[in-house]
Amino acid sequence: MMEKEEIYSKVLRAGRRTYFFDVRATKAGDYYLTITESKKFTNDDGSFHYKKHKIYLYKEDFNEFNTILKEMTDYVITEKGNEVISDRHQKDFKKEYDTPAPNETTSETTEPAQDGTPAESRFTDIDFDDI
């Protein structure tokens, strides 16, 4: 199905994603909105491709869509604030499970053995043929 002529368009670039907001006309001459998410992926050989996802939004759904979208975005901001908390956005981001809690102990030891051998050299290489 061929896309209808674009009447009015806006673009939002957001990192690897780009969002396209396009007003289009139906055959009857009424307007509707398409929202397209385009995400860039890089192949191993350095070439790239895009994956696109599209939402068609018709006038009869605008009010409810706007109400729910506002409710959901307000909820996220109320619960988490405006600050972006993400390993993709912050180089020093640490997930909760990345660092042990102050009283938490781990099974790995980094302390030297009683004979002074460093922890890194106390591991035994295992060949899968041995198992």
Domain span at residue 14 reads 6-80
Residue 58 lies in a domain: yes
Residue 37 lies in a domain: yes
pLDDT, greater one: 112 or 37: 37
Count: domains in the chain: 1
Split at pLDDT 50, 70, 90, the class of 90 is: low
The DSSP secondary-structure symbol of 2 reads P
CATH code of residue 20: 3.10.450.700
Residue-level pLDDT at 57: 97
Residue 44 lies in a domain: yes
Q: If you average pLDDT over residues 103-126, what whole number do you get?
A: 53
Residue 116 lies in a domain: no
Q: Is the pLDDT score of 3 beyond 60?
A: no
Taking the whole predicted model, whether its pTM rises above 0.85 is answered as no
Q: Is the pLDDT score of 74 beyond 50?
A: yes
> If you search the block for the tokens 């696109």, which residue do you land on?
52
pLDDT, greater one: 114 or 7: 7
The token pair at 33 is: 């909105």
Amino acid at 11: V
Closest C-alpha to 55, from 36, 32, 38, 70 = 36
Residue 69 lies in a domain: yes
Q: Is the pLDDT score of 108 beyond 80?
A: no
Q: Which of 33-47, 52-66, 77-91 has the highest mean pLDDT?
A: 52-66
Residue 102 lies in a domain: no
Cβ-proximal residues to 9 (8 Å cutoff; 6+ apart), any chain: 20, 21, 22, 23
Q: Is the pLDDT score of 17 beyond 60?
A: yes
Residue 105 lies in a domain: no
Residue 128 lies in a domain: no
Q: Which residues of 1-42 form beta strands (DSSP E)?
A: 6-14, 17-25, 31-42
Residues 30-39 pLDDT 10s: 999 999 999 9
Residue-level pLDDT at 107: 47
